[in-house]
Structure 1
Amino acid sequence: MSVTPCSLRPLHLAFALDTPGRRARRGPEIYDAEHYVRLARLAEHGALDFVTLGDSFARPGPDALAVLARVAPRTGRIGLVPAVTTTHTEPFHVSTAVNTLDWVSRGRAGWTVEVSRSQAEADLFGRRDAAPADALWREAGEVADVAARLWDSWEDDAEIRDAATGRFVDRDKLHYVDFRGTSFSVRGPSITPRPPQGRPVVAVDATAGPAREVAAAHADIAFVRAEDPTTAGAARAELRRRADALGRDPDRLLVFASLPVELYSSGDAVGLAELIGDWHTDGVADGFHLRPADPGRDLALLVDATVPVLQHRCLLRRFYPGATLREHLGLPRPANRYAPVRKVSS
């Protein structure tokens, strides 16, 4: 049964599992999978839409996508959105890895498209020098594009799994993508079936200019770091205009204000609820991505104090009405671009 909140425009909440500065340290918390499981389950208890986990070639530590793949079987509803760097990586492998996360989470995966900017990071691979931001984001947009095409390269019913005939897949329902970008080409099809969501949710930090065109063209979610509602509202309006100019339905691009939070008391948490409620009522953001100073402390206060206030104001749901991240966000499952339209016999 689908339940509509009192608000005509649902409010979405996401929480970053990163601790600022922890990437530079070595310690047990960095490598403790249970740490992330506990946080994700707490966020799920508060019916948050999803959690994010950052990643970068510039620091030691575990791979964010692999960490959230470990979290997936220990959670049941919360969306899982790791950062995935598109620079110096193979687009085919990126597509397969994100697809796999969608399968192991049963349709709760997303990914934040990220680029690698520094020469030190480029030196780790030794294949090419660091490129300007515009070129990096142009390539990132192409990776997002080809990933979506690879996810569509299997039709939803391509798998046969007929033991009697020995046929696993209907080859007529697999498609070459034949994509050629500025720095790579991919023929396809994918080696994994189409994801449960059709396409996992794509997020982009669109705070900086070079990333905004990628967000407008390919993202389901755009994060904007804003300290005031005027900045957030202007960014949302710009991104929606860009999406519309590219032929997209701007309502399919959700703009999240990405806010730093540091909660020491229930009073702080209630104040955060008031801020979120006011910004949302004013229409400056579709959701909020909260970046904590201390994830354990701040998430507990968020779930215990901020969330109930928002629920009391009829801005936030009390439970998940669906099972997938797209359902949490009110986004439809995309049609497969390669599947022919088949007439249904009457």
Structure 2
Amino acid sequence: MTEQLHLAIALERAGWHPAAWREETARPHDLTSPRYWRDLLRIADDAGVALATIEDALALTDRFEQVDGLRRDRVRGRLDAVLVASFAAPQTRRIGLVPTVTTAHPEPFHVATGIQTLDFASRGRAGVRLVAGASAAERANFGRRASGVDSFPASGRVEDSPEIVAAFREAGEFADVLSRLWDSWQDDAIIRDAATGRFLDADLIHNIEFDGEFFSITGASIVPRSPQGRPLLTVLAHQTVPYRLAAEHADLVFVTPRDDLAGFAPSEILAELEAASADVRVAREPLRAFADLLVLIEETASAARLAADRLDDRAGADLTSDARIVVGTAADVVDVVRELAAAGFDGVRLRPARQPADVIAIAEQVAPLLRAAGALREDDGAGTLRQRLGLVRPESRYVREKEFAL
């Protein structure tokens, strides 16, 4: 039997190659146009892609990039990912919308209400991808923190940086607060009985009373419980500390399997996620794992290699990535995706090197080939994003707490 998985896509400005904006097929003048993002999301939506993540950041520079001597040949500036997703929500039909949010500076209350609003706007297709950390450039934009994550440790190990470990603890609290705020209204809190003058049952709205290392929050969300109950919570993880964050708090984790790096083989990553889940996960649902691939797709392998070389020349360096890079035909991408399906991943998230060119190739070539091979999970677009990923709609924790108190 052919192993099946979900297909996701990761949208990043002009694409994941830093020189992608210089391609003839690129739309650099439209990067701050809502219709640019609507067009990309509709292309993926019509192709049956399960969800799209939308990249975001809180600084003009890339993470750990020096502010002084800022390179002028890179795309700078971006639109707010949550607002982009909210704009696209009523203009798409089925695709999950998962904007990126950095946990170091925004308040969880604001993020919780924004994502709940997106869940209503999309009729149950919202999620969020949480990113830990507070770089120097990000801190300078907010002016509230004297220290944070200024560099990656020389060892390459997250646990060797107290600042990064603290950032992940903060991200864990942030995720916890989000889920509590999303639970703070029970499903039947709103009555809307005009005859009796009762709009809501105040006993079914709960202050979350959270007091942690980084956040202290007393109140409830201002947004009623949204269609999914809790929108999809996702993270990208590469090592033990973020794997444990995902296992404890996330519904879905994006990972970067690579056979050329020790510790990053698919079996090693899945084994570590399973061990972390056994240790810290309390959710009934198993953690879903999606493997990331950065893809550049042309009709022939030689044409793809020429396109990649042209972009590398313009960038002044070969493309590098935390994820495996596949430069070739749609069939080449499908072969790798099927390998990952056989390894046990629940899905694959494709990062298009060039937008819109590789988004179109994913929609018009990769997705049909996967479907023809029986490698895509059946998805008629019905129901919420959680339902389509095989996740139950969680009951508010405050219903359970009340039952336990009786």
Indicate conservation of the 8 Å contact 2:133/2:164, yes or no. no
The aligned counterpart of 2:279 is 245
1:96-245 counterparts in 2 under 5 A? 96-131=113-148, 132-228=163-259, 231-245=265-279
| Distance change >3 Å, CA 104–CA 307, structure 1 → 2 | same
CA distance in 2, matches of 1:251, 1:272: 29
CA distance in 2, matches of 1:246, 1:319: 31
Q: Secondary structure at the match of 1:102?
A: helix
| Displacement of 1:165 | 2.8
CA distance in 1, matches of 2:119, 2:253: 20
Amino acid at match of 1:174: I
Deviation beyond 4 Å, 4+ runs, structure 1: 22-27, 340-343
Give CA-to-partner distance per residue, 1:25-78, whole Å, 9 cap, x none.
995322111111111111111111101111111223211110111000100110
The aligned counterpart of 1:3 is none
Amino acid at match of 2:265: T
Indicate conservation of the 8 Å contact 1:102/1:195, yes or no. yes
The aligned counterpart of 2:29 is 28
CA RMSD of aligned residues (A): 2.4
The aligned counterpart of 2:330 is 269
CA distance in 2, matches of 1:319, 1:250: 23
CA distance in 1, matches of 2:193, 2:366: 51
Matching of residue 52 in structure 1 with residue 53 in structure 2: yes
CA distance in 1, matches of 2:381, 2:35: 27
CA distance in 2, matches of 1:24, 1:274: 28
Indicate conservation of the 8 Å contact 1:254/1:286, yes or no. yes
Amino acid at match of 1:129: A
| Displacement of 1:249 | 5.8
Indicate conservation of the 8 Å contact 1:244/1:250, yes or no. no
Which is worse superposed, 166-175 or 105-114? 166-175
Tell me the number of residue pairs that the alignment of Structure 1 and Structure 2 aligns. Answer: 336
Amino acid at match of 1:29: D
Amino acid at match of 1:56: A
Give CA-to-partner distance per residue, 1:106-150, whole Å, 9 cap, x none.
100000001243112112111112321111110111010011011
| Displacement of 1:325 | 0.8
Indicate conservation of the 8 Å contact 2:173/2:214, yes or no. no
The aligned counterpart of 1:301 is 361
Q: Secondary structure at the match of 2:375?
A: coil
Indicate conservation of the 8 Å contact 1:12/1:316, yes or no. yes
CA distance in 2, matches of 1:272, 1:257: 13
Segments of 5+ residues of structure 2 without an aligned counterpart are: 61-76, 149-162, 302-328
| Distance change >3 Å, CA 126–CA 226, structure 1 → 2 | same
The aligned counterpart of 2:293 is 259
| Displacement of 1:212 | 1.8
Amino acid at match of 1:297: A
The aligned counterpart of 2:340 is 279
The aligned counterpart of 1:290 is 350
Q: Secondary structure at the match of 1:262?
A: strand
| Distance change >3 Å, CA 250–CA 167, structure 1 → 2 | closer
Give CA-to-partner distance per residue, 1:283-305, whole Å, 9 cap, x none.
2x211111111131112112222
Matching of residue 13 in structure 1 with residue 7 in structure 2: yes
Q: Secondary structure at the match of 2:238?
A: coil
Q: Secondary structure at the match of 1:31?
A: coil
Q: Secondary structure at the match of 2:397?
A: coil
Give CA-to-partner distance per residue, 1:205-228, whole Å, 9 cap, x none.
111443222111011111112233
| Displacement of 1:279 | 2.0
CA distance in 2, matches of 1:218, 1:24: 36
Q: Secondary structure at the match of 2:31?
A: helix
Amino acid at match of 1:42: I
Amino acid at match of 1:14: A
CA distance in 2, matches of 1:307, 1:142: 37
The aligned counterpart of 2:322 is none
CA distance in 2, matches of 1:150, 1:273: 40
Match of 1:77 among 91, 94, 103: 94
Which is worse superposed, 237-246 or 76-85? 237-246
Amino acid at match of 1:105: S
| Displacement of 1:251 | 5.5
Rg bigger for which structure? Answer: 2
The aligned counterpart of 2:325 is none
| TM-score under structure 2 length normalisation | 0.78
Give CA-to-partner distance per residue, 1:172-208, whole Å, 9 cap, x none.
1111110011122111211110111010001101114
CA distance in 2, matches of 1:251, 1:179: 24
Segments of 5+ residues of structure 1 without an aligned counterpart are: 1-5
| TM-score under structure 1 length normalisation | 0.90
Q: Secondary structure at the match of 1:164?
A: coil
The aligned counterpart of 2:397 is 337
